[in-house]
Structure 1
């Protein structure tokens, strides 16, 4: 899907700027588009085989594979920023949002908000100052540099974390930060362009504009997300449900942009609502799997073409000629990330569970740039002085980030031992998976029986076979729990603490909901919630 769209754009851009000779070129027709698409698919397939064999991140392999064929294909295809922002970005954000569980996001909201909000602004400011005085450019280009390079690429980080095992809380923080970081980058980028176009903007007007755009985007996404729920429930056909979700993802972004609010924030909100409130309402497990599998494939396909095109778009020889400036830009965004991560998270312990230092190292090195940074650079108005130079420097920083940091991140995680899981915890996890799967199968059997699809005799036989698995898993898990209670092995607390955390969060949500409904008095709720918070803080990081 993404690849065909890329071919049709035939973007009128060279690897690092504009080429007037290409402006009058016309597409070579459908056969040429098909041939180019086949070539890209074959390259991506070869990259998948090689990266699996060498155990390196797939996205880094795609970028490296695209570099040697820059001169061959870059004049026929291009990374069109309009295509990335209006088609690819909504697909990727929606796919990440529907797979983000509200409870995980809620449990990590404070560090996510700290990094995606003040952290992003702080990092942007540091980058802007260093780039302005280091390269001797004006404030507007420097601020654009700051916003573009403070953004952490959603695609890159989630793709890397799918290939290496990390603690669930760390994974939730990274996914949450990258999800909202994209939206924050787009809002800030557009605000700077408003300053460039109007010539001035007061601090009060800027804050007002940010709030209107961000909160307005959230409101639009929430409305459209909730409106899609009754339609989804009435659609019994999984293929029709797929069409609804595609329309929701792309339509929400366009409606948000049309209304002058953040389309990215709107898609995030719509995806969270649909994924947490819509998908669980589906009566069929197979329909839910079909939907999630489609969006996984869509995200994978878009990722493949984006990162392959990034490699094709970048001309290494051009970057080599401006290497000192690129190194300065890399130093600037790395320093901005260092200060925003280590300084801000050092104060997190005052109002939330602290982030372990090894995790902070991963958050720093995981500051990977990608398609959005390149798309924003290409979206800079043609009238801005030094536009081509900005594009070249951003492309150089993206190349270093994807290849250098992308290749080194898995090794860092292994050396830090943050992915180490004890044998007991791993065995308990396997039993939990068996228990969850068997329970889900029994729920599906109940649904089939009620719908009249399954005879009762067959239902009872199948249900009993799954019940044997359930009983065995529960028995062994109970034994593990009793051993833990007897030994108090700290190394194996994480799995049980993860369950306790979910139970405590469920208690807190129920009590807070009762307070909102005026069922219980506030003076009794506050100490109870405070006690729950203290219990949450005492749990081990999962």
Structure 2
């Protein structure tokens, strides 16, 4: 085909893409539906031109359109990696984690249920082999990422609903394509009744192989990006290569799922990229990917739609019946999951509640598109599939995809409206009215100042002020109409606004490089969780989310296990360093929010609400300070190192801003400004490096702080530090149990421990020891020890403790003092202590 003609057709398709978006907005239809209709019209027009004689002059164009090299591998290897990668890159992974159970159920189990339901439904009403029916089921079981994301981002769908649908559409491609590969092999081999053991046996390799390839590819890409940190275009180019190499590497080298590899690669890049790349480079990378995905999503739809007239030109009346059977079976399969399995998981407390309107929207929002058409096209291209099977698969799959696009896609906006999912809640409506009223009051004050500064004509000012005043009166009246809601829920509204301001502050500090890009996504995710918690559960939800933001999570528990049991300390050191930085950043953000309460919330919600929010904010700051102080006690000096790093980064930001002002005012030239900016970039690279947390060094510093070891010289302290084992325990964890044989003595470096015997309880804090009595009295323990706060312990075994007791007078005095507090005969214990010392 002539290259000029191909270039002209591609340019014309881009022109169609540019006109389709405003057309979709004007008709209030999803963009992808317009693209599908235009593609069908173009494909049908090409066929019509070739069929009639009096427009022969257009035959070369029609032949070129129909001869475009549109193959299934073009969709799967060119467009699909781009779409999957960009959608994953744009997802809030930490917020999706809150709904990971329903997402995985819809992405994996729903695909299996849809495949089986559609397959067996077709086998009951046709004479097709079961393998062919299941093949059709696997083709139509996958929702299309570009279709789903495009529709749900074009309508006012709630973010949680959009997250679940987008997560499902991303992950179910891998399951559906895997099932498709199994059943197409069975069809080509002529196996009429397949066994599912062979199909399911491939899933471990597909899943874990894809995860491995995607992770390795992303880690290599991030490493390469850090090597060329000063070249943004090079970093973006590496990111463009990443999804294709991951997809091809997984599919062609080890037979794993290319979609899973791309998803994992994008997740890995999203989690590690912001911490390794400059903020501006990361922002530009995201913008480039948004553009690439927009083009890929639009082209994949319009090119797939071009094929529809050719696939459907041989349709028969019986095919309409099969399409109807598939439609009904697919809806039934989706209903089984949404109304059967998900409520069961919720009842078992394995999944959050998915509300009824959400389930209805999810059932109707399972759109099929280019992925379904590409898989059907792969069947029609195979020379090993019988001709009659090719025809049925192509027509049924294409017909079902058309139904989801032209019926479900065009009515989904109406469905969202009917379910009232696009309406503001009473809280949001009350907040918007009140905020608009206060904003317009502020605008009126600023407008009065502006008119004075510019000495505008009095009559003009009076007329415009009258018009603006009428709008302000309407806004105030609307706010007053919601007085009842505001009286009842103004605290919740204030908390939502406060959490939103917290999110904006985080973004500002990230752009200014005051907050590390390494943790920016995590801190933003916590702010999003605060907003949703306040919206759903008011003050209680906000406080619960605030406590969760500084709590120790399951990864910390795993790191503790590795450190305490296997003496693997690297994960614990990394997580603890992240926690240090997170708490310091939270303290910085929270201190900025008091001004927002006084400047904004007080004007909107009144003095009483503002005072309550100040109190809640002070409690959060106290909790952060307490957690930070606990870390300071555990790791002396490390917090100061991070604070010094923060001061250096702030100074560089202020210096950079001052040079920009000097350039803007014409006081320095471009050449000098460039030289100064390069010098700041070099110093910033050094300041961005976070100091390493060395647990061994920190343990030695902890030992020196114990009064019990004050009489020991540096050499003895170093030996003791090597002998002591650091153990971290969470609040509520049992440290020692009754009747156990005493083998160790515990020294509290930070935190608090409660000891309990049959008759009494007492608490110990930092610098104290416990567990020594049973060793000295040579009897099983009669005391149970439990941590009542996150606690760091230094553990010394029996032999070394007795050896230390012989040499340390302060330790002997501490043992006697502890015995006196617990009612043990001091004379008897002194004799025992002396015997142990000897």
Shared topology, TM-score over 0.5? Answer: yes
Change (3 A) 1:504 1:305: same
Structure 1's unaligned 5+ residue stretches are 1-26, 449-476, 527-542
Q: Is the 8 A contact 2:131 2:187 kept in 1?
A: yes
Deviation sequence 1:398-449 (CA, Å, 0-9, x none): 111111111111111111122333235666667766654454334433479x
What corresponds to 2:338 in structure 1? 341
What corresponds to 2:297 in structure 1? 303
What corresponds to 1:153 in structure 2? 144
Distance 2:285 2:115 in 1: 37
Structure 2 SS opposite 1:56: coil
Q: Shift in Å at residue 496 of structure 1?
A: 8.7
Q: Is the 8 A contact 2:17 2:35 kept in 1?
A: yes
Q: Is the 8 A contact 2:20 2:31 kept in 1?
A: yes
What corresponds to 1:254 in structure 2? 248
Aligned Cα RMSD in Å? 3.1
Q: Which structure's residues are more often strand, by fraction?
A: 2
What corresponds to 1:219 in structure 2? 212
Structure 2's unaligned 5+ residue stretches are 47-61, 436-492, 516-526, 565-726, 735-838
Give the alignment of 1:358-437 within 5 angstroms.
358-380=357-379, 381-385=382-386, 386-421=389-424, 422-424=428-430, 436-437=503-504
**What is the count of residue pairs matched by the alignment?**
462
Q: Shift in Å at residue 205 of structure 1?
A: 3.9
Structure 1 SS opposite 2:512: helix
Q: Does 1:43 align with 2:49?
A: no
Q: Shift in Å at residue 49 of structure 1?
A: 1.4
Q: Shift in Å at residue 397 of structure 1?
A: 1.0
What corresponds to 1:270 in structure 2? 265
Distance 2:117 2:127 in 1: 15
Query: What is the TM-score of this pair, normalised by structure 1?
Result: 0.78
Higher relative contact order (CA 8 A, sep 6+): 1
What corresponds to 2:233 in structure 1? 239
Change (3 A) 1:97 1:502: farther
Change (3 A) 1:446 1:345: closer
Query: What is the TM-score of this pair, normalised by structure 2?
Result: 0.51
Q: Does 1:75 align with 2:78?
A: no
Distance 2:106 2:292 in 1: 28
What corresponds to 2:5 in structure 1? 32
Q: Does 1:445 align with 2:512?
A: yes
Deviation sequence 1:313-342 (CA, Å, 0-9, x none): 212655575433322222222222222322
Q: Is the 8 A contact 2:217 2:245 kept in 1?
A: no
Give the alignment of 1:282-293 within 5 angstroms.
282-283=277-278, 285-293=279-287
Q: Does 1:210 align with 2:207?
A: no
Distance 1:204 1:295 in 2: 40
What corresponds to 2:702 in structure 1? none
Change (3 A) 1:490 1:233: closer
Distance 1:338 1:492 in 2: 27
What corresponds to 1:144 in structure 2? 135
2:185 to 171, 181, 194: 194
Q: Is the 8 A contact 1:119 1:344 kept in 2?
A: no
Q: Shift in Å at residue 513 of structure 1?
A: 4.3
Q: Shift in Å at residue 240 of structure 1?
A: 0.7
Distance 2:24 2:300 in 1: 17
Q: Shift in Å at residue 76 of structure 1?
A: 3.1
Q: Does 1:324 align with 2:321?
A: yes
1:59 to 26, 32, 46: 32
Structure 2 SS opposite 1:260: coil
Distance 1:523 1:430 in 2: 33
Distance 2:225 2:542 in 1: 32
Deviation sequence 1:104-124 (CA, Å, 0-9, x none): 232111111111122211111
Distance 1:265 1:134 in 2: 35
Q: Shift in Å at residue 279 of structure 1?
A: 2.9
Distance 2:173 2:235 in 1: 27
Deviation sequence 1:146-172 (CA, Å, 0-9, x none): 111111111111111111233332222
Distance 2:7 2:21 in 1: 21
Change (3 A) 1:441 1:394: same
Q: Is the 8 A contact 1:95 1:299 kept in 2?
A: yes
Q: Is the 8 A contact 2:236 2:285 kept in 1?
A: yes
Change (3 A) 1:164 1:505: farther
Deviation sequence 1:224-263 (CA, Å, 0-9, x none): 2222222222322221111111111100011101221111
Structure 2 SS opposite 1:347: helix
Q: Is the 8 A contact 1:60 1:403 kept in 2?
A: yes
1:100 to 80, 91, 105: 91
Q: Is the 8 A contact 1:424 1:492 kept in 2?
A: no
Q: Is the 8 A contact 2:217 2:242 kept in 1?
A: yes
Q: Is the 8 A contact 2:132 2:183 kept in 1?
A: no
Q: Shift in Å at residue 48 of structure 1?
A: 1.1
Distance 1:311 1:199 in 2: 31
Q: Does 1:130 align with 2:121?
A: yes
Change (3 A) 1:124 1:233: same
